[in-house]
Homo-oligomer: A and B are copies of this chain.
Amino acid sequence: MTASVPSRAYAELNEMSLAAYIAETAELQAFFAGGDDRLEITEIGDGNLNLVFHVRRGRRALAIKQALPYARVSGGSRTLTRERIHFEKLALEQAARRTPEHVPAIHHFNDELSLLCLEFLEPHIIMRKGMMAGTVYPHFAEHMARFLAEGFFATSDLALKAAEKRLMAARFSRNTELCEITERLIFTEPYTDSPHNRWTSPALDEAVAAIRADTALKLAVSRLKLRFMTCSEALLHGDLHTGSIMLTETDTRVIDPEFAVFGPMGFDIGVLVGNLLLSFFAQYAYEREPDERHAYRQWILATIEALWDGFAARFAELWLKEQTGDAFPASLFDTRDARAGLEDECRLCLERVLADTMGFAGAEMIRRVTGRAQNIDLESIADPARKGHSEGLALELARHMVTAGGGIGSMKELTSLAHRVVRPR
């Protein structure tokens, strides 16, 4: 493969230079070969960081991402190493080992050009947008539970030898720039008076002031930050919100793992649960008549429960049946009594992951409502009163989630709390 890749110095691609690159790259030529159609290239990137081209010839299409040496959202003012796309590729490759059905396939990669050519997902849409439209995804919970359990297990000390795990974690530790964004945007900035923070004013002014004055909350969120920085439990996606998932009613794919790093499993699950809850609260503001979205809200909460239950069940199954790593080595637990002990231990471990999940989910909700990077599902609410109302409810629940520690003992309890926090406007 290497021989067929032209080695060039890095340059920002445009439609024209990308066409030339494709023409001289055997692997891409082969992919697009056949038929009389023209090659169509359109830049479609709407993310914060990269260029993304939709490249199509007839029925064959790729999404081609190029990392820029700066954050796209900054207009070039904030430099960022292009190495992030290398970590994205590594993370996609790793996920494909266990759940190739839940990530886009990689068709070509050029490290020199920071260029990643991926399966173009169609007719998939970004989950966040599907949820805004009220689309039910009946297989989402099952698919994501599997994606998470398999991915975490495979990169944990339960599956890997310690040396292999240490080296893999060290490799991703070089992804410091994107980790720093997470550490700052989720765990720090929303709790300061950074000029980058935004919130619905005046509706949330009081709530935001209260958050910044809440020592217990700031201690709890700092504890979560330290856990994110020091706990290398498994390989994380690192930014698993509903904008990082593309799906149809039957197919679910996780994209954009450029924030990948080893960390606590509850971080990824928490970010996802937090974004599902934000959508839950946003649904109230979408209603043109009372309870129009009632059934959809119920689906969101049921999905959160099913996601966790499916994850926990599959993770436990993998631990108890496929343990090959250096943690809890099978050689120490080969009697019936010991196997029973191991099952208890697995439950305890999942309780800790659940406690992490609650905390990280709450932190994600707070930063999406009061910090720098906001979500379109809330941003799109035109009426500030309705927007502020939904966001205020989300903040109330989120603060409790961050400070409760292990106090919310199950996902069922969390979804009940989400219901209970809702008051008429």
Contacts and interface: CB of A to CB of B under 8 A. Distances in A.
A328 B223 CA distance: 8
Interface string A159-185: 000110111011101101101100100
Nearest to A171: B170
Interface of A: 157, 162-163, 165-167, 169-171, 173-174, 176-177, 179-180, 183, 188, 191-192, 213, 215-216, 218-219, 222-223, 225-226, 229-233, 326-329, 331-333, 335, 337-338, 340-342, 344-345
A154 to B, nearest CB: 15
Given A219-B341, A229-B327, A328-B222, A173 B177 contact: no
Closest 9 pairs between A and B when the two form their complex, measured CB to CB: A163-B176, A170-B173, A170-B170, A215-B341, A166-B173, A226-B327, A215-B338, A222-B328, A218-B332
A109 B85 CA distance: 37
Main SS at interface, chain A? helix
Nearest to A182: B162
A216 to B, nearest CB: 7
Contact of A226 (B328, B337, B342): B328
Given A170-B174, A231-B231, 14 more contacts: A162-B180, A162-B229, A163-B176, A167-B173, A169-B170, A169-B173, A183-B326, A215-B333, A215-B338, A215-B341, A218-B341, A222-B329, A225-B326, A230-B233
B233 A332 contact: no
Contacts of A215: 333, 335, 337-338, 340-341
Counting chain B CB atoms within 10 Å of each CB, the highest count among A169, A176, A331, A332 belongs to: A332
A223 B332 CA distance: 12
